[in-house]
Amino acid sequence: YARRLKRNHQGYGDTFFIDEVFVKIQGKQHYLWRAVDQDGEVVDVFLQPRRDAKAAKRFFKRLFKRHDAEPRKIVTDKLRSYSVAHRELIPDTLHDTRQYTNNRAELSHQPTRVRERGMREFKSVEQAQGFLSVHAEVYNLFNLGRHLVSAKHYRSFRQRAFASWEKAVTI
């Protein structure tokens, strides 16, 4: 479903908030890297066993390959791996590491944590990556920002979201 939903997506903003969080899979610690744009839409998620500079560069390459363009600005925490990847791959992009500016990315992990608890942890890396990719696309589709629009517009956005979902799940 994720591929079909992505095909209909309109595009992301020009500021990416990037963060990583640990996830246990079969007792081993892995890192879930996530990029969110300024509107709160999940741009990409990627599961890796490490969070060093090599892992950060791998995530950045994957992110920009899928996004087709460099963002105007990236916002991260102070993890040194981000600075290395930024310096080597996208030196012309602004890089903000001030405290609290990365809260949008930090909060984007919450829906995933809720689903992870309900599933009683992930069983394998492949299962986790597959689930997280689909979950991100479905979240983007149905997370409509109710507080930002009138009830009339919200209903029309919701109808459009369900129509897109119906189109994606029917073959």
pLDDT in tens, 35-74: 888 888 888 889 999 999 999 999 999 888 877 778 899 9
pLDDT confidence of residue 115: 66
Mean pLDDT, residues 100-109 taken together: 73
Domain spans of the chain? 8-145
Average pLDDT, the chain: 81
Q: CA-based angle 129:17:155, to the nearest 5? A: 80
Which stretch of DSSP H or E encloses residue 65? Answer: helix 53-67
**Does position 121 have pLDDT exceeding 70, yes or no?**
yes
Q: What tokens does 54 get?
A: 């090599």
Q: Which residues of 5-18 are buried (b: 16+ CB within 10 A; e: fewer)?
A: beeeeeebbebbbb
pLDDT winner (highest mean) among 10-14, 45-49, 120-124, 159-163: 45-49
Specify the CATH number of the domain 8-145.
3.30.420.10
Which stretch of DSSP H or E encloses residue 100? Answer: none
Q: How far apart are CA 66 and CA 60, in angstroms?
A: 10
Q: How far apart are CA 118 and CA 64, in angstroms?
A: 32
pLDDT confidence of residue 8: 56
Q: Tell me which residue of 76, 91, 85 sits closest to 34, measured CA to CA.
A: 76
pLDDT confidence of residue 167: 78
pLDDT confidence of residue 118: 62
